[in-house]
Amino acid sequence: MKTTVEQLSRRFRGVVLAIHGGAGVITRDDMSPAQEKKHLAGLHAALNAGYAKLKKGGTSLDAVEAAVRSLEDCPLFNAAHGAVLNHDGRIDLDAAIMDGATLNAGAVAAVRTIRNPVSAARAVMERSDHVMLVGQGAQDFAGAVGLKIVDPEYFVTEAQRRKYVEALEQERKSKRRPKGKMGTVGAVAVDAEGNVAAATSTGGMFNKRWGRVGDSPVIGAGTYASNETCAVSCTGHGEYFIRLVVAHNVSSRIKYAGETLLQASRAVVHDELLPMGGEGGLIAIDAKGNCSMPFNSEGMYRGCITESGESYVAIFK
């Protein structure tokens, strides 16, 4: 794993945008070559969507929002369309965005009708006095500012519906609830002005109950950005990411301990999360275009694109 991350960082100095599509329980055995191809195409599409913004002079905020919207719209990843179903057979979505130049941030949690939660998070940041809105109130706000509201059925794919039905069946037989699979999408970027930004969006944990919210919409945990240090978007077992305040932890190691982006991000993923049992990973970028994508799970959907347009996508180590 060490080699991969370091090689990546060496090969891609000058990364302008990095994305992830989750670091849940992905194994080679679960994935056919055809599926792998589709996922890689989904990652390429998201990279291109974000890169197009940057090429037209857009900000890093524009780029991360566009990349995450692309992943939200793609049925293969656990965010918006294609999100996992909760215990009640419904979909609860969370998202956050943060601007490294101003430390402005926005987040929504437990929303069910906003087509692109990441855009709602951006609207909270730019068009409200608040940082975090939840539930019906967040949906009312999104509608009031003109965001696209959809029927909750829009988010449900046939594949996720099938998984849910199978889980119900399994639960009836074994009296045990199938373990929640995780998944999240996210992006970090740096623009021509040297401003960094981060965004994350998720359907949360499969079969979750009780209005559970993970790390994605929690500023400092799943999402954080500061020009002074870095922009971070996380994916994995959210409870551990909240308890270790992962994204801000990476930033703090750079700011206060003088670690490099690579040192800080790897220390949190391998030396802090892993010993606690916190499976997952993160993507991080700094104002100079240094990039790191450490993960302690078997795989993490990920990719990055450099200023010249050269891109890289991968799933496994």
- Give the catalytic positions in this structure: 184
Which CB atom, from 4 or from 128, has the smaller least distance to its own copies?
A: 128
Residue 137 interacting with its own copies (CB under 8 A): yes
Query: Does residue number 250 form part of the binding site for its own copies (CB under 8 A)?
Result: no
- Classify residue 178 by burial, with Cβ atoms within 10 Å: 0-12, 13-18, 19+: middle
Q: Does 257 bind its own copies (CB under 8 A)?
A: yes
Among 46, 85, 138, 315, contact with its own copies (rule: CB under 8 A): 138
Nearest to 231 by CA among 206, 264, 258, 209: 264
Per DSSP, the three-state class of 153 is helix
Question: What is the number of other CB atoms lying within 10 angstroms of the CB of residue 240?
Answer: 21
Q: Which pair of structure tokens corresponds to residue 91?
A: 């979909």
CB of 293 vs its own copies, minimal distance in Å: 22
H or E segment at 51? Answer: helix 33-55
Q: Which of 38, 44, 130, 288 binds its own copies (CB under 8 A)?
A: 130
Pick the closer one to its own copies by CB: 139 or 292.
139
Nearest to 60 by CA among 253, 200, 195: 195
Quote the CA–CA distance of 15 and 21 in Å, as a whole number: 18
Q: How many chain residues touch its own copies (CB under 8 A)?
A: 44
208-to-45, 111, 127, 182, 238 alpha-carbon distances in Å: 29, 14, 31, 10, 12
Binding of residue 274 to its own copies (CB under 8 A): no
Interface with its own copies, residue 90, by CB under 8 A: no
In the bound state with its own copies, the residue whose beta carbon lies nearer, of 39 and 248, is 248
Nearer to its own copies, 25 or 134 (CB): 134
As to burial, measured by CB atoms within 10 angstroms (0-12 exposed, 13-18 middle, 19+ buried), residue 194 is middle
Nearer to its own copies, 63 or 133 (CB): 133
CB of 238 to its own copies, least distance (A): 8
Site for its own copies in 172-211 (CB under 8 A): 208-211
Report residue 170 CA to chain centroid gap: 29
Structure tokens at 230: 């870095």
**Which residue reads 């430390």 in tokens?**
103
Site membership for its own copies, residue 89 (CB under 8 A): no
- Contacts with its own copies, residue ranges (CB under 8 A): 103-105, 109-110, 128-138, 140-141, 208-214, 218-221, 224, 238-239, 242-245, 248-249, 252-253, 255-257, 276
